[in-house]
Amino acid sequence: MSGRYTATLLFALLWSSAGAVLAETIDTFEQRMRPCTACHGREGRPTANGYYPRIAGKPAGYLYEQLLNFRDGRRLSPMMTYMVDRQDKVYLQRMADYFSRLEFPHAPPAAARHGPALLAQGEQLVRKGDAARRLPACTACHGERLTGVAPAVPGLVGLPQYYLAAQLGAWREGLRHARAPDCMADIARQLTPADLEAISAWLSSQPVPLDARPSATKPEPPIRCGSLEPRS
């Protein structure tokens, strides 16, 4: 089969698929959110490739803050920036509210692929922190159950290890930012590569509680976090 014939056939198939999509009347907000499921999975749950995070059930304030961060360049993802670049704040808030209201069972965690020593190190950092390095425990902000705290703190369980490690690494290397003062960047810069691996390995191996809704008890973070403060 010639290259020209293959390209023509591919174009015809794409055009046919596009026509089928355009023929469907998009008249609900749920239909408008379908492109998000291409990466984040059906109903906002993660896909099987082990990277993209679950967004269903995340606190609306957190989701809204991240959409703004993608739009305004504090988080780097060409695909996400393209998706939200032309949306105003009202529409982004609707997106956040929509996914925050979705409640679906979490999949069982992946089997731990690391030894007990590394997992113990991760649990220690997550639950107790490291006073000698002035590292607060993850539970101090993300809640004792690590399912997040409404309205703006995300849960940490139920996320793929690769995603967790990538985000901590991005903060550590200055590739991900939040509103100043950027508490996560300050914390991540004190973590070693071994810390990142231990934390992400332990968190990703933990089961998610049956009631995985974010806590309603407002956290008192041990350090200032701009993303938790009212917008000016």
Contacts of 198 (CB under 8 A, 6+ apart): 114, 118, 119, 121, 122, 125
Q: Residue 42 sits in a domain of what CATH number?
A: 1.10.760.10
**Which SS3 state, helix, strand or coil, does residue 126 take?**
helix
The pLDDT confidence band at residue 47, using thresholds 50, 70 and 90, is low
Q: Specify the pTM.
A: 0.83
Helices (H), the chain: 3-23, 29-32, 34-40, 60-72, 78-84, 89-100, 116-127, 139-142, 161-172, 183-188, 193-204
What is the C-alpha to C-alpha distance for residues 72 and 49, in angstroms, rounded to an integer? 27
The pLDDT confidence band at residue 43, using thresholds 50, 70 and 90, is low
The pLDDT confidence band at residue 6, using thresholds 50, 70 and 90, is very low
Helix/strand/coil (H/E/C) assignment for every residue in 12-31: HHHHHHHHHHHHCCCCCHHH
pLDDT 10s digits, 76-121: 999 999 999 999 999 999 999 999 999 888 888 877 788 999 999 9
**Count of CB atoms situated within 10 Å of the CB of 200:** 24
**How high is the pLDDT of residue 108?**
84
What is the domain range of residue 146?
A: 3-228
Total domains in the chain come to 1
**How high is the pLDDT of residue 10?**
42
